[in-house]
Amino acid sequence: MRGRLSIRLGAIFGLIVFFSLAFSYLYQGRQLRELFVSRVRADLQRELRLNSGMLDDRPADWSDTARSDQWADRVGAALDLRVTLIDLDGQVIGDSYVPAGRLAFLKNHSARTEVRDALSKGFGETIRSSETVREEMLYLAVPVGSPKRWGVLRFAKPLQDIRMLEAEVRNGVVGGLLWALLISLAAGMLSAYLLSRPLERITEAADRFLHGETEARVQVRRRDEIGRLSMAFNYMADEIVRMNRQEEWLREVLSSIREAIIVTNAEGQIVLVNPAASRLFTIDGALNRAVPVKQIADKAMRGLLERVQAGGERLFREELTAMTSKGERVLTVSAVAVMQAERFDGTVFVINDITRLRKLERMRRDFVSSVSHELRTPLASIRGYAETLLEGAMNDPDNAVSFLRIILQESQQLTALVNDVLDLSKIESGRIVYDFAPLDLKAHIVKSVAMFDQVASRKGVRIELAIPEGLPPVMADAGYVDIVIRNLVDNAVKYVGEKGGMVRIRAFAMSDAVSIEVEDNGMGIPQEDLDRIFERFYRVDKARSRQLGGTGLGLSIVKHIVLAHKGDIRVRSRVNSGSVFTVTLPVAPCPPTGSPR
């Protein structure tokens, strides 16, 4: 790069010097010629005046033109000039360039400009081509004779002589100019080289900076314009590094914010979005140019942004439902106007996805409503029978015992409901610490099923076990696995018919899990209820469930425990044919070879 810049600068300097010298040469040449002509004219005038003064009286013997021609030849030879004598009639009586024998054949000179001016003005001068000698000459003429004029004395100098002298001087000048040109070119190239070196250092530093070497700087060695340019480059490099770090910091801050952020300019175009907004509304996060708000597909969200932008409100907050990449979501949009010296410069929109919050609030309301309803029924029953007893029924032994049994049953139902609510609350809050360990599933199934032998026997329900030997252990908490099995077996026993009811419990291994199936031949579950049976307080037959002592929370507790074990629970059912609940739990990892048991 240095060589190219040096050559260019040297060429520019050389051209400047060349054209300057060429102009100077042309101008000085013209001046030089005028100077030579003026010098020759002055010499001719001096000689002309001097010789004309010697001819105030015409010599008597000049009646013979040979005598006057000899005088002209003699003076012309002495002065290296053309000397011409012309009488008042215009006849040439002597000419140093023309032999005496040819004077009579020369044209009359009275019409010559210099002769006419000399006779009329006392001095004549002209530059023209001589008709006699066919050569361009400088003519000067004065009248001779005092007090009575008798003729004209004319001196002429060939311009060729002047040009030859001028050429000799010009050759010397050209030689000097050529040397000056060479020296100027050399000085220009040297100056260009010296000038290009610091520029090259600045260029190299800029190129390194452009390719990622942000520490590249220029050493400031001088205080002239190039030094100030170096300082300016270093300052700009520091500012760019600072701005890049600030931009990276802002980008990290924006990326770490969970809320969606959209920034618009004064024209309402989107100029910045963070990753959360980019994912939510499928907007390109790396905006290199402003994009219109219409890139947001949802009409409600787009209309809100346009309305806030048009209104120019400094603070704004609104909740709306919008269609996003995650489906329909409930969003709160907060807007803050960006002001620059009281001038509106855009808007920052902060968008919170509160769908889960609203869902939790709805679930809380439903839960409180359901709990209140479930508590109200047994409490109303207990209160009613207690008031009946107090009004005199306690004196009737048969009815009193029946009422007291109902009160006991309702209080037991109430206790079970409170316990289930507390268990579910602990499970959902994540306060339970599970003690996961390899578990022999068959032993726990057998132990849990044995708890229902008497109840099943009294109801006439047959319980069958189909648990193969060699089931791989599962990674689970033993106490909570027992709760899952007991809830499923308890529901199966409750909802099968008497005399002929059957509950079958199977277990089998898969590739990386063990499945437990609890099947019954009871009343079954309608298809439209299958997706909701794991909801809290959801019952297919509310009256029968409450009659059988169910709280409506058992399956919800089962599902939460299974999911906490990274397992899965599914149900298949047909009305009047029975149901099959399938729980899948992951197999415990094999201990490393050689590890102690």
Per-residue pLDDT reduced to its tens digit, 230-248: 888 888 888 888 888 887 8
Q: Cα dihedral angle (63, 67, 72, 78), rounded to 10 degrees?
A: -150
- C-alpha–C-alpha distance, residues 78 and 98, integer Å: 16
Distances (CA, A) of 294 to 136, 269, 285, 299, 464: 90, 9, 16, 9, 64
Instruction: Kindly tell me if the per-residue pLDDT of 2 is higher than 50.
Output: no
What order do you get walking across the sheet with 270-273 strand by strand?
270-273, 260-265, 343-353, 327-340, 315-324
Residue 385: burial class (beta carbons within 10 Å; 0-12, 13-18, 19+): buried
Asked if residue 550 has pLDDT above 70, the reply is: no
More confident residue, 468 or 383: 468
pLDDT value at 483 more than 80 = yes
Torsional class of 409: left (φ above 0), alpha (ψ -120 to 50), beta (otherwise): alpha
- Domain 2-165 CATH (choose: 3.30.1330.10, 3.40.190.10, 3.30.450.20, 3.90.1150.10): 3.30.450.20
Tokens of 117: 């001016």
Mean pLDDT of 261-275: 82
**Beta-carbon-side half-sphere exposure of residue 518 (alpha carbons within 13 Å):** 24
Task: Average the pLDDT over each of 385-399, 490-504, 558-572 and give the range with the smallest value.
Answer: 385-399
Whether residue 95 is predicted with pLDDT greater than 50 in this model: the reply is: yes
Question: What angle separates helix 225-256 from helix 159-210, to the nearest 10 degrees?
Answer: 30
Three-state SS annotation for 223-254: CCHHHHHHHHHHHHHHHHHHHHHHHHHHHHHH
Radius of gyration of the chain (CA): 62
- Could you give the 3-state DSSP secondary structure of residue 208? helix
Mean per-residue pLDDT, 184-205 = 75
pLDDT of 142: 92
Quick one: tokens of 558? Answer: 């089962």
Check whether the bond before 147 is cis (ω within 30° of 0): yes
Mean pLDDT of 137-148: 88
Instruction: Please give the Cα distance from 2 to 421 (Å, whole number).
Output: 84
Q: What per-residue confidence (pLDDT) applies to 597?
A: 41
- 89 bridge partner residues: none
pLDDT for 344 equals 79
Report the Cα 355 to chain-centroid distance in Å. 33
Contact present, 444 and 482 (Cβ < 8 Å)? yes
Predicted pLDDT of residue 581 = 93
Q: What pLDDT is stored for residue 567 in this prediction?
A: 92
Return the SS3 of 439: strand
For residues 88 and 160, is the Cβ–Cβ distance under 8 A? no
Query: Which pLDDT belongs to residue 513?
Result: 92
| pLDDT reading at 485 higher than 80 | yes
How many residues does the structure list for the chain?
Answer: 597
Confidence of residue 6 (pLDDT cuts 50, 70, 90): low
The residue type of 48 is L
Three-state SS at 131: coil
Work out the pLDDT band at 129, boundaries 50, 70, 90: confident
User: What are the domain boundaries of the chain?
Assistant: 2-165, 257-353, 358-428, 433-586
Backbone angles phi, psi at 500, to 5 degrees: 120, -5
Q: How far is CA 591 from CA 176, 435, 438, 584, 588, in A?
A: 102, 17, 10, 21, 9
d(CA 575, CA 569): 20
**Residues 433-586, CATH architecture:** 2-Layer Sandwich (3.30)
pLDDT tens profile 54-76: 888 888 788 788 888 899 899 98
- Ramachandran region, residue 213 (left: φ > 0; alpha: ψ -120 to 50; beta: rest): beta
Residue 260 neighbours by CB distance under 10 Å = 23
Q: Is residue 593 scored above 70 in pLDDT?
A: no
Show the beta-strand stretches assigned E in 292-415.
315-324, 327-340, 343-353
Closest CA to 80 of 164, 169, 150: 164
What number is the average pLDDT over the span 310-339?
Answer: 80
Look up the CATH number of domain 358-428. 1.10.287.130
Distance CA 127, CA 505 (A): 141
Place of tokens 């314009």: 225
Alpha carbons 528 and 53: distance in angstroms, whole number: 149
Per-residue pLDDT band at 504 (split at 50, 70, 90): very high
Helix (H, G, I), strand (E, B) or coil at 540: coil
Tell how far CA 244 is from the center of its chain.
Answer: 11
Confidence at residue 420, expressed as pLDDT on a 0 to 100 scale = 66
Provide the Cα torsion 231, 236, 238, 243; round to 10°.
170
Question: 3-class SS at 295?
Answer: helix
SS3 583: strand
pLDDT of residue 28: 64
Between CA 342 and CA 319 the distance in angstroms is 28
φ/ψ region of 257 (left if φ > 0, alpha if ψ in -120 to 50, else beta) reads: beta
Fold of the domain spanning 257-353:
Beta-Lactamase (3.30.450)
For residues 466 and 353, give the distance between their C-alpha atoms in angstroms, rounded to a whole number. 49
Do 257-353 and 2-165 have the same topology in CATH? yes
Summary mean pLDDT of the chain = 80
Distance of CA 586 to the CA centre of its chain: 49
The first and second tokens of residue 128, run together, are 């023209």
Residue 517 has pLDDT above 90, yes or no: yes
Contact 527, 542 (CB under 8 A): no
Separation CA 148–CA 468 (nearest Å): 167
pLDDT at residue 557 is higher than 70: yes
Distance of CA 507 to the CA centre of its chain: 60
DSSP state, 291? Answer: B
Element (H, E) at 24: helix 2-53
Read off the pLDDT of residues 415-467 as tens digits, 9 standing for 90 and up. Answer: 766 776 776 677 666 667 788 899 888 888 998 888 888 888 888 888 999 99
3-state secondary structure of 519: strand
Residue 360 phi, psi (nearest 5): -65, -40
Q: Which of 15-29, 429-443, 563-577 has the lowest mean pLDDT?
A: 15-29
Q: Are strands 502-509 and 462-466 parallel, antiparallel or unpaired?
A: parallel
Largest pairwise CA distance in the chain = 200
- Tokens 């409506």 locate to 552
Q: Tokens in use for 61?
A: 């013997």
